[in-house]
Structure 1
Amino acid sequence: MDVIQIALRAFFALVTLFVITRLSGKKQLAQLTFFEYIVGITIGDIAAFIATDIESNLVHGYTSLIIFAVIPLLIDYLSLKSKFVRDLFEGKGTVLIKKGKILEDNMKKEHITTDELLEQLRLKGVFKVADVEFAMLETSGHLSVMAKKQAQAATIKDLQLNLPEEQEPETVIMDGKIMLDPLRASGRNTDWLNTELEKAGVKLDNVFMGQVDAFGQLYLDLYNDQLQMPQPSQNQLLLASLKKSQADFEMFALETKNPETKKVYTKAAEKLQSTIDQLSPYLH
């Protein structure tokens, strides 16, 4: 009887912990404040005590468990309403590097050694302190780093390129089954997909995952990792090269500010697109 009683206590304690965890939100362990971390440990201890101590009063145990669960929820609610409460329980971030200068007093305050600072910088891909403009130790314990302008990687915006927006690939096959909604969202149908699978010499039930990108390229990951995917034929490579060249002409037309040059690139892109449309039935 004692074993059954402990099993039931453990089951209901686990259910209660699951409910409490769901109510507390989706914070990861690294995002928990010190207060939430302490409360979490205490709740776990109380649940274990309820499950194993058959001589304890269940009502008392669950009362304390509920109190420890409600307090963090109440504090979370008050934190949303008041910055004072938020700062009190969650703390504030601490600046460790400002305008390229290491703030030693702040490091001492947070008990951060030089080695630990350098480690955190390396994890962010920064190996020279001279490249850091600003660094802050967040309340979660993570280090946020902003590199100096000359040490930042160039972006598309910096190069002033007007490129088309990247589109999310659609997962059209999952666990050997065709996903109809994503397939329709990609602008294609099951006939096209079956044709592509036939070209690749792959059976549907051997496909773990299949994705279609914005250019209509089908990526397949197979259950059988030993099976090699066939390489594209010369016709497919030629068609891909033509499409890339046509896209390059369109990009050049968007980049240039000279009206005459823009017309030349636009006309070339249109002619190449017409050629692709004519050759596609023979190259597929």
Structure 2
Amino acid sequence: MQDWLEIVIRTLTAVIILFTMTKVLGKRQISQLSLFEYITGITMGNIAAYVSLDLDNEWYLGLLALSVWVAVSVGFEFATLKSKKLRDFIDGRATVLIERGILLRENLFKERLTIDELLEQLRKKDVFRVADVEFAIMEQSGEINVMLKQEQQPLTPNMLGLKINEESEPKTVVMDGNILEYSLRSSGRDSNWLKKQLRDQKMKVEDVFLGQIDGKGELSVQTGEKTIEPAKPKDPKTQMISLMKQFETELKLQESLSLNELDKSEYQKAIHKLQALLDRK
């Protein structure tokens, strides 16, 4: 067999086997690598190159080496699932870098992390002042996660005591001009409803690049040139209710920010009156 042909066959074989073994090792090999997984990935790549190009040795020896590495790696993964001590030894532990706004110099030195590098990672998390950080932790993967102090965290509906309706995942019902029947049925709609919605917009299914139905059952359409959103309600009653709900939310926000009980009481009275009006609508 000619050398070039043998290299082609070896390379294709190595690619197939390497792909199969990577699937066996699981998704962590291509996402968050531990130190051992990092070494395994580099070594397997080198062995695959050896299988492809080293014509002076038997190719099956390279495959044997790959199999041993995969077996050892899979064995370590199962072992670390069962043993916390082994997991800490193989994968390492998370390290606290900032605690209650204070830099932990010893832990920075332990992770060989300069202040410049830490500040860069904080800026990637939209944090520009160390004093605003409650905790910053370096995970085993090397990623730094940050928790801001409570007074620096953005307001959430839960903090304001607001109840928010649950959101459901938007369903993609049209893609590249084709109706996705399964997604359409799971959204509670059918093709007749879909075609009627498109006719109202003077469109055909073939014109739709992407169509999605949101949690409210409304259809939004992408044509590749523009986005067509669901029509907003135009009747005055619906608009008034919507505005009153927005005003209620603003009143609850002001109540939560009140500095004394008298102001809070006034906001509560206004909220109760507004809620009574909404109940009558």
Fold in common (TM above 0.5): yes
- Structure 1: which 5+ runs fail to align? 269-284
Aligned to 1:107: 108
State the AA in 2 paired with 1:113: T
Q: How does 1:60-79 map to 2 (within 5 A)?
A: 60-79=61-80
- Give 3-state SS (helix, strand or coil) of 1:238's partner: coil
Shift of 1:88: 1.0
Task: Report if aligned partners of 2:233, 2:239 keep a CA contact under 8 Å in 1.
Answer: no
Q: How does 1:195-234 map to 2 (within 5 A)?
A: 195-223=196-224, 225=225, 228=226
What is the TM-score with the length of structure 1 in the denominator? 0.83
Rounded Cα–Cα distance in structure 2 between residues aligned with 1:250 and 1:41: 58
Rounded Cα–Cα distance in structure 1 between residues aligned with 2:84 and 2:44: 26
Rounded Cα–Cα distance in structure 2 between residues aligned with 1:119 and 1:168: 34
Task: Report if aligned partners of 2:29, 2:37 keep a CA contact under 8 Å in 1.
Answer: no
State the AA in 2 paired with 1:141: G
Shift of 1:169: 1.5
Aligned to 1:186: 187
Q: Aligned Cα RMSD in Å?
A: 2.6
Rounded Cα–Cα distance in structure 1 between residues aligned with 2:228 and 2:65: 63
Shift of 1:28: 5.6
Query: Would the alpha carbon gap of residues 47 and 203 (structure 1) be closer, same or farther in structure 2, given more than 3 Å must change?
Result: same
Rounded Cα–Cα distance in structure 2 between residues aligned with 1:147 and 1:229: 37
Aligned to 2:163: 162
Shift of 1:186: 2.3
Shift of 1:68: 1.2
Shift of 1:153: 0.6
State the AA in 2 paired with 1:143: I
Identical positions, percent: 38
Shift of 1:217: 2.5
Rounded Cα–Cα distance in structure 2 between residues aligned with 1:260 and 1:153: 28
Aligned to 1:265: 278
State the AA in 1 paired with 2:234: L
- Is 2:234 aligned against 1:238? yes
Shift of 1:184: 2.2
Rounded Cα–Cα distance in structure 1 between residues aligned with 2:229 and 2:96: 52
State the AA in 2 paired with 1:142: E
Alignment length (residue pairs): 261
- Structure 2: which 5+ runs fail to align? 253-267
Encode CA deviations 1:26-75: one digit per residue, 9 max, x unaligned.
12645101211111111111111111111211232211111111111110
Query: Would the alpha carbon gap of residues 229 and 19 (structure 1) be closer, same or farther in structure 2, given more than 3 Å must change?
Result: closer
Query: Would the alpha carbon gap of residues 146 and 2 (structure 1) be closer, same or farther in structure 2, given more than 3 Å must change?
Result: same
Deviates more, 1:196-205 or 1:48-57: 196-205
Rounded Cα–Cα distance in structure 1 between residues aligned with 2:274 and 2:238: 21
Task: Report if aligned partners of 1:200, 1:229 keep a CA contact under 8 Å in 2.
Answer: no
Shift of 1:145: 0.6
Rounded Cα–Cα distance in structure 2 between residues aligned with 1:116 and 1:259: 51
- Give 3-state SS (helix, strand or coil) of 1:210's partner: strand
Rounded Cα–Cα distance in structure 1 between residues aligned with 2:208 and 2:7: 46
Shift of 1:149: 0.5
Task: Report if aligned partners of 2:93, 2:140 keep a CA contact under 8 Å in 1.
Answer: yes
State the AA in 2 paired with 1:156: P
- Give 3-state SS (helix, strand or coil) of 1:31's partner: coil
Shift of 1:152: 0.4
- Is 2:124 aligned against 1:130? no
Aligned to 1:276: none
Shift of 1:181: 2.3
Rounded Cα–Cα distance in structure 2 between residues aligned with 1:131 and 1:230: 42
Q: How does 1:49-68 map to 2 (within 5 A)?
A: 49-68=50-69
